[in-house]
Structure 1
Amino acid sequence: MALRSTIYKAELAIADIDRGYYADHALTLARHPSETEERLMVRALAFAMHADERLALAGDISTDGEPALWRRDDTGVIEQWIEVGLPDERRLRRAAGRADEVIVLAYGGRKAEAWWQDNARDLAKLRNLTVWFLPPEECEALTALAERSMRLGCTHQEGHWLISGPRGSAELIPLAWQQPAR
C-alpha cells in the first residue's frame, strides 16, 4: 500500500514592506511522505517571499520536471521557477533555460554549504539564477510553527522576515549566495 501525502492548510497574511505587497493567501500544501516538515515550511516561506496573484504551488517532489513553486504568464511561459533544498546542478541548468528567473532557497546547514562549494562555479554561469541560504537555527524556528492547520503572519522589512503564529515566531534573514547582476 502506497503512503499518502499529508495535507496542511496554511493561511498566510503577507506584509512585504520592501516590495509594497500586502495580501492574504490560503495554501493547501501536500507533504509528500519523503518530505520533512522543515522542507514544507521552507516551501511556505518561499511562497511568502515571492507571493503575488500568479505564484502557484507546483508538483515539486511528486511530479518530475516541476519546481516547488512557479509563476507563469497567461500563455504558459514560466516567468519564475522556485526550488527548495539542494537541487541538482543539471536540473537548475534546465530550469534556467525554461524560465525567465530561477530561485533556490537552500537550507540544511553544513550539507547546504558543501552543496554550494561543489556547485558554485557551475551555477555562477546561470545568469538568471538567485540562490538564498537559510541558516539551520532559523529553519528550526520556522519548523516549530508547523501545524496541519495554521495561520501565519509574514512580515518582510529590510531583508528580515518575521513569521508568527499561535506557536510563536521565527525571524529569518536569508543570505544571498548568488544574485543576477542588475
Structure 2
Amino acid sequence: MQMASKVICLDLNYSCDASHAYQQQRHYVSPWQGESAEHFAKRLLAYLSLYEQHPSFAKDDSGGKTPDLFVADQYQHVQLWCQVALVPEKRLLRAAHQADKLVLVLDEHETDKARHLPQPLNQHIFTLDHAQLDAFCLMLKSHMQLSVWREDPLLHITDGEHQLQLNISALPLYPH
C-alpha cells in the first residue's frame, strides 16, 4: 500500500531518563513519491530509534547511493549511514567505507538475505518483524501524535490507541 499523504505532521513526545532527554517537537516528514507504507514505517521507526543522535532524512529514494537516514558531523562526514531496505552488495560496501557506522533496518526476509553478503565490521543489522511493522503502520496518519519512551534496550511507542515495543540493542549508540 502506498502512502496517501504528501506530508505527515508528527507531534512527538520523547523521553529517556538515562540521558535526561525530554522533548516535545513537531516534525514534518514527507513520504517519497510512490513509497509504500511499510517502507515509510521502517524509515520512521529508524528515525525514532536513533532520535537522540539527531538523524536527518534523505530528500528522496536514491536506491542506496545515499543513505535513507544519516548522522553527519559539522564537516559533513557521515558518522552513521542508515539504509531501510536491502540494496546491492556493491552499494552496501561503498556505504560501509564512507561512514563510521552502517545500519541496515530490515524485515526478517531481508535480514536472511543480508546475512549471506559480506559483513563489514562497521555494519549493524536491526531487524523489524512483520508484526512490528504492521503495528506501526496502524499508527500512520496525516497528523500523528506519538509518545516515545526509551528505557534501554527498549523503545516504547504509542499513539494513545496502539502500542509498540522495540528492542534497539542491535543499534550502535554514540555518547549523548
TM-score, L = length of structure 2? 0.82
Quick one: structure 1 residues 34 and 20, their matched pair in 2 at CA, closer, same or farther if it must change by over 3 Å?
Answer: same
Quick one: structure 1 residues 29 and 99, their matched pair in 2 at CA, closer, same or farther if it must change by over 3 Å?
Answer: same
Flag the structure with higher strand content: 1
Q: Shift in Å at residue 99 of structure 1?
A: 1.0
Matched residue type, 1:159: P
Q: Shift in Å at residue 59 of structure 1?
A: 2.7
Q: Shift in Å at residue 72 of structure 1?
A: 1.1
Matched residue type, 2:55: L
Q: Shift in Å at residue 25 of structure 1?
A: 3.8
How do 1:67-86 and structure 2 match up within 5 A? 67-86=67-86
Contact 1:32–1:62 (CA under 8 A) maintained in structure 2: no
Runs (4 or more) in structure 1 with deviation over 6 Å come to none
Quick one: structure 1 residues 54 and 162, their matched pair in 2 at CA, closer, same or farther if it must change by over 3 Å?
Answer: closer
Q: Aligned pair 1:42/2:30, yes or no?
A: no
Partner SS, residue 61 of structure 1: coil
Contact 1:104–1:130 (CA under 8 A) maintained in structure 2: yes
Q: Shift in Å at residue 87 of structure 1?
A: 2.6
Quick one: structure 1 residues 51 and 174, their matched pair in 2 at CA, closer, same or farther if it must change by over 3 Å?
Answer: closer
- Structure 1, unmatched stretches of 5+, are none
Q: What's the CA shift string for 1:73-114, capped at 9, x where partnerless?
A: 11111111111122322212111111111111112x3x2243
User: What corresponds to 2:24 in structure 1?
Assistant: 24
- Structure 2, unmatched stretches of 5+, are none
Q: Shift in Å at residue 170 of structure 1?
A: 1.6
Q: Aligned pair 1:147/2:141, yes or no?
A: yes
Which of the residues 157, 163, 168 maps onto 1:169? Answer: 163
Q: Shift in Å at residue 27 of structure 1?
A: 2.6
